[in-house]
Structure 1
Amino acid sequence: MRVIREAMLADGRVRDVRLDGERIDAVGEDLDGEAFVEADERLLLPGMIDAHVHFRQPGFGHKETWASGSRSAAAGGVTTVVDQPNTDPPTVTGEAFDEKAEFAAGSLVDWGVSGGVTADWDPDSLFERPLFALGEVFLADSTGDMGIDADLFRAACRRAADAGVVVTVHAEDADLFSEDAKSRDDADAWSAYRAADAEAAAVERAVDVGSEAGATVHIAHTSTPEGVDAARAGDATCEVTPHHLFLSREDLDDLGTFGRMNPPLRSEARREALFERLADGRVDVIATDHAPHTGDEKDASIWDAPSGVPGVETALPLLLDAAREGDLSYERVRDVTAANPADIFGLPRKGRVEAGRDADLVLVDPENAREIRGDDLHSNVEWTPFEGKQGVFPEWTMVRGTVVWDGDEFAAFDGENVRQ
């Protein structure tokens, strides 16, 4: 058995961690083993579970593939990803699930697939698959062909409740969008159009309908403090993205159309209030909404550029740098990136450095921050909205006992999963 010796855990304890194949065998002091890795009191965390990514296959492999996206994840300390349904074809039938799973089989990290709901969905065949969740179900008709009406949302919540599946909701009320903003062409026009008030109103609707149907509701990429508060008031969980935590409308002069995403960036005051809710425990999960587009695609007008930014490789490094600066505790980083998503989405072998859990581990030197540069990242699109910010990146990332990223190179994998 291998032993990671004298690792600092998120709660400050220094412990040995003994591995037995894919699992953690024991956590304690002076553990025996056959091979040793000296952590030298560097920080050992459970791998991040990113419950909201768009790895683009099938349909849009020029933006990202499961191979490139999972490498980017591993280099950022993410050991499990959950892909959302708006691919081509959308993951709304069992057959579409199977097609996506064929692409996902080559992932360097563990993965799940969320099903979606449209007017054409086939819940009978979809729920026959090992569905992770109903993912990013849209309540706003302006979000594209994944949008649904209230009656279909209510029916989907009932089916999800019967199947024991979490419903992840993209909550924006299109009736509250500001039509006046459409006369503008500056980079801030998108934020002005998709007004902040539209989020909390949709969160309230989603949790009310979900509660009536007996469903477990999780609010995706909550971008306002009011949205977080509405989710908590309705006994729903919520996730927040790094771009809504570390960027605001004040950054749009520099970002231009590369800063367009859904929901959009909010005011600096709202960003600060959102971060406060992360620090004090009111935010449940950090998920990236990793939604890559090529630079050529983003280099368009604010009304023509696609929405979305890459982020799977930079989320944990940004949070660790915030902890290094004293703005967060390492325990909060552990909880929102690993322990809480494992609990919410039913992953009993993930999310904690404990005996019996999968050996999904990330070793970092918490003082070794470096500048984030798009050229250094591993997504297909090779750009980042966090250019020039500081991040604390993993020294290595392990998935079920296999080091898949050693700081310089990725492990080979056999086209099925990380086992070699």
Structure 2
Amino acid sequence: MLTIRNATLADGREVDVRIDTSAGRITGVGSTLTESGDSIDAAGKLLLPGMIDAHVHFRQPGFDHKETWETGSRSAAAGGVTTVVDQPNTDPPTVDGEAFDRKADVAEASYVDYGINGGVTPDWNPDELFDRSLLALGEVFLADSTGEMGIEEDLFREAVERATDEYRVVTVHAEDADLFAEEATERPGDDYDAWSAYRTAEAEAEAVERAVEIGDEADAKVHVAHTSTPEGVDAAKSGGATCEVTPHHLFLSREDYDELGTFGRMNPPLRSEDRREAVFERVADGTVDIVATDHAPHTREEKDASIWDAPSGVPGVETALPLLLEAARKDELSYERVRDLTAANPADVFGLTRKGKVEQGLMADLVLVDPDASREIRGEDLHSKCGWTPFEGMRGVFPELTMVRGNVVYDGRDGEPEDGEFGEAVGENVRG
């Protein structure tokens, strides 16, 4: 048994939390729990449920030079993330049973718990996928022509209907390539803002509207990935879908291209400062459901190219919660809002009923932080294999301790994740 004493929860309550470390569960939350086993004095510290990052690309199998399950999950643990959901665009893509099993094998190296999403392509095999411990479908690329996994509306409708039958969420990447501004492609490769001009805000909003309309017709649970515009957020919510926002769309804008260059290329792209502020408002006021990172690392060498040749994507799994906690430290968000965005709401959206809260009977996935311990973010201090961050020089509040099911997977006092493969698959634990 382990007791965390005098901890402050996101709602301001000061409590003791008792953990059965053998079962990995919280067995008591109260003001005066009886002494039992080891204890940690958390006076003056904030105790949060571990972040559930519902959108990561850990790249393995197929792109191990960018990231692996070991390096990506170590980075997650150091950032207070205790569960990740990996997307299917690896090599081979996770679109059939064989590919799923191959990813499940390498995912066993994870430091944190994990879900595996199945992908949708013209040759996908839904029977094999749904026969596995699949967490959800997605990231499904609706009307996006920039990758091999983009699909048309008829196949998207088929996937949504099948996911509905299986009680699974469909996570959709919604950008309508027909609305991309082709004239922007004539701009030179060192005009970094051309990427944002090309992948227009209208392309996102239109595709979100189509996705949620199809989902509504099928009575499906549609979740819109990485909404980057207020129009996209509003289209998702008005259509009854849930949505997520990434830290890069929350804290960066087109004004940062001069400093980021091609390291700021991602899909959807960075938006105007006005749109960024409007998205932040929707995150703060409760409109947006989730913050998820879309952690998509590439090597420095790969990103050091023209804006038209560099791969899209940035790392973020280790810095998301620290950035949000820094915003809360500056009173831009409440700690309760951070808790809901990163843990309670993702657990609810994806049916992870034993995660997401500091409550008796739930998994002891916990993060202990000193809310005043703000420090500069530096890529060389992070644990992702890529070794860089788009948030270089910004500030974050990093965990002192990260626990997955009662196991300490990261101790910030020495700055390194603990040795061990602590993660377990969560696909069989979903609601259904």
Instruction: Report the TM range for the smaller structure's normalisation.
Output: over 0.9
Other-structure match for 1:362: 367
| 8 A contact 2:409–2:422 mirrored in 1 | no
Match of 1:329 in 2: 334
- Whole-Å separation in 1 of the counterparts to 2:111 and 2:144: 35
Greater CA deviation, 21-30 or 316-325? 21-30
Percent identical among aligned pairs is 73
Which of 237, 247, 253 is equivalent to 1:248? Answer: 253
Between the aligned partners of 1:306 and 1:272, the Cα distance in structure 2 is: 26
Q: Secondary structure at the match of 2:27?
A: strand
Measured after TM superposition, the shift of residue 248 of structure 1 is 0.0
Following the alignment from structure 1 to structure 2, what is the Cα–Cα distance between the partners of residues 369 and 413? 28
Out of 33, 51, 57, which is 2:60 matched to?
57
Structure 1 residue matching 2:19: 3-state secondary structure: strand
Residue pairs, 1:194-205, within 5 angstroms: 194-205=199-210
Q: Tell me how far 1:143 sits from its aligned partner.
A: 2.6
Match for residue 411 of structure 1? 418
* CA deviations over 1:250-293 (Å, ceiling 9, x no partner): 00011000000000000000000000000000000000000000
Structure 1 residue 140, shift from structure 2 partner: 2.2
Cross-structure match for 2:2: 2
TM-score, structure 1 as length reference: 0.98
Q: Give me the whole-angstrom Cα distance separating, in 1, the residues matched to 2:288 and 2:424.
A: 31
SS where residue 24 of structure 1 aligns?
strand
SS at match of 1:126: helix
Distance 1:249 1:111 in 2: 33
Aligned-pair CA distance for 1:416: 6.8
CA distance in 1, matches of 2:40, 2:75: 24
Confirm or deny that 1:221 pairs with 2:226. yes
CA contact (8 A) 2:113 2:422 kept: no
* Unpaired stretches in structure 2, ≥5 consecutive residues: 426-432
Q: Which residue of 1 aligns with 2:214?
A: 209
User: How many residues are paired up?
Assistant: 418
CA distance in 2, matches of 1:58, 1:368: 37
Cα distance in 2 for partners of 1:120, 1:166 equals 20
> Residue 56 of structure 2 contacts residue 294 of structure 2 at CA under 8 Å; is this kept in 1?
yes
Deviation string, structure 1 residues 203-261 (Cα, Å, up to 9, x no partner):
10000011112211000000000111011100000000000000000000110000000
Change (3 A) 1:295 1:411: same
Structure 2 counterparts to residues 19-418 of structure 1, below 5 A: 19-21=19-21, 22-32=24-34, 33-185=36-188, 186-407=191-412, 408-414=415-421
4+ residue stretches of structure 1 with deviation over 2 A?
414-418
Shift of 1:417: 5.2
Q: Deviations over 1:332-353 (max 9, x none)?
A: 0000000000000000110000
Instruction: Give the C-alpha shift of residue 200 in structure 1.
Output: 0.8
Deviation string, structure 1 residues 11-52 (Cα, Å, up to 9, x no partner):
000000000120000100111122210001310000000000
2:108–2:421 Cα contact (<8 Å) kept: no
CA distance in structure 2 between the aligned counterparts of 1:415 and 1:345, rounded to whole angstroms: 21
Distance 1:414 1:49, change over 3 A: closer
Partners of 1:15 and 1:362 lie apart in 2 by 15
- Please name the residue that 2:16 is paired with: 16
What code does the residue aligned with 2:12 have? Answer: G
Q: Aligned partners of 2:210, 2:423: CA distance in 1, in Å?
A: 40
Could you tell me how far 1:164 is from its partner in structure 2? 0.5
Q: Aligned-pair RMSD on alpha carbons?
A: 1.0
* Unmatched tracts of structure 1, length 5 or more: none
Give the conservation status (yes or no) of the 8 Å contact 1:24–1:358: yes
Report the Cα distance in structure 1 between the residues aligned to 2:335 and 2:279, rounded to whole angstroms: 18
- Secondary structure of the residue that 1:114 maps to in structure 2? strand
Q: TM-score, normalised by structure 2?
A: 0.96
Cα contact 2:7–2:16 (8 A) shared by 1: yes
Shift of 1:58: 0.4
Instruction: Tell me the CA shift for residue 409 of structure 1.
Output: 2.5
Contact map agreement 1:106 1:417 (CA 8 A) in 2:
no
| Aligned counterparts of 1:168 and 1:307: Cα–Cα separation in 2 | 19
